[in-house]
Amino acid sequence: MPEIVPGIHQLRVPIPDNPLGFLNSYLVRGRDGWLMVDTGWNEEASFQSLKDQLGGLGIGFGDITRIIVTHIHADHYGLAGRIKEHSPANLLMHEAERPFIQSRYVNYEGLMARMGVIFHRHGVPDSELPRLQGASLPVLGFVEPTWPEILLKGGETISTGFFDLQVIWTPGHSSGHVCLYETKARILFSGDHILPVITPNISYHAESTANPLGDYVRALHRIESLPVDLVLPAHEQVFTGLKERIKAILDHHASRKQAILDTIRDEPRTAYDISGRIPWETMGVPWEKLSAFTKRAAVTETLAHLLDMEEEGMVRTVQANTVARWERVSAR
Ligand SMILES: [Zn+2]
Ligand SMILES: [Zn+2]
């Protein structure tokens, strides 16, 4: 468990069953206890590993006084409830994330119905609809719902006495995602907003913003001018070269937009149809054989690109009955 700089530790929390393998939790020293950034998900292996790694540092759960989750995806937030049972910690998150606790992890039937409407409108065939609708249900088992004591808006500075963490609201990957910028050490806790290798999933769904990719790109530009020496992401490894990484992510989305445009060169298509025609990094697994979870991610990511392209005036929908098809604006 490396000490990144004196007073900031990285904990590698295993998240079994997830292709990412690990969640990076960070511990920040404070005058009145430790502040934890992201937790791992609620599974015994994750909890025990976290406990062992803390023990190796001579820290117990009782020494954690604040937990900030960058967003409420299960791998970041799932263990927060259990840690709070063993500690005096207050939980902090962006105010836009709070409602999702109820709608995703407590009463999720309404959300599933709303996703069904979106999938139908965007061309998911009836035969596939239930499978895609229920594809995110397995994460429920990895979360112990707990509510935040303190809500963040972005712009505030959280001081531990040793470190000052500026909260930067970075919607896109999730509506209330936040990054934390430590001004003196010039360290950025980037959550899932920026990872060194994988491009974060940006999806349009029932609880995303109206144009999540547009928001995401604006949020990338919001942090690209920060003087950052080191980026501490929530997955993969610590890295330098924030500006170059942002540029690579922007290029990735530009080329995906081009790939989408190519599929509708000759005729309008639904988002589902487009998703099956653009190249994905699926290790050679054909579209028909993709898991429901991967297919769902492909459709919602395609939609995120289409909605951003719609805002840019590149595409628009033509609606027949209840199904929307996308066409190029320049095609006419
Ligand atoms: Zn996430
Ligand atoms: Zn994550």
Q: How many of the other CB atoms lie within 10 Å of CB of 78? A: 30
Identify the pLDDT of residue 139.
80
For residue 11, which phi and psi values (nearest 5 degrees)? -110, 130
Q: How far is the CA of 329 from the centre of ligand 2 (A)?
A: 35
Cα separation of 98 and 119, whole Å? Answer: 25
> What percentage of residues in the chain have a pLDDT greater than 70?
99
| Sole residue written with tokens 């994750």 | 46
Q: Are 224 and 243 in contact (CB under 8 A)?
A: yes
Distance 328 CA to ligand 1 centre (A): 31
The tokens for 202 are: 């940006």
Ligand nearest the Cα atom of residue 21? 2
Q: What are phi and psi of 159, to 5 degrees?
A: -105, 135
* pLDDT class of 231 with cuts at 50, 70, 90: very high
Distance CA 314, CA 257 (A): 10
Torsions phi, psi of 154, nearest 5?
A: 100, 140
The pLDDT tens digits for 43-84 are 999 999 999 999 999 999 999 999 999 999 999 999 999 999
What confidence tier does 251 reach under pLDDT thresholds 50, 70, 90? very high
- Distance (angstroms) between ligand 2 centre and the Cα of 316 equals 32
pLDDT at 116: 94
- Token reading at 282: 């699926």
pLDDT digits (tens, 9 = 90+) for 160-175: 999 999 999 999 999 9
Res. 27: pLDDT tops 70:
yes
CA of 202 to the centre of ligand 2 (A): 12
For domain 3-103+138-243, the question of CATH label 3.60.15.10 is answered with yes
Residue scoring higher pLDDT (136 or 218): 218
Under DSSP, the state recorded for 78 is T
Residue 25 has pLDDT above 60, yes or no: yes
Q: What's the CA-to-centroid distance between 36 and ligand 1, angstroms? A: 17
For the chain, the domains span: 3-103+138-243
The Å distance, Cα 201 to ligand 1 centre, comes to 8
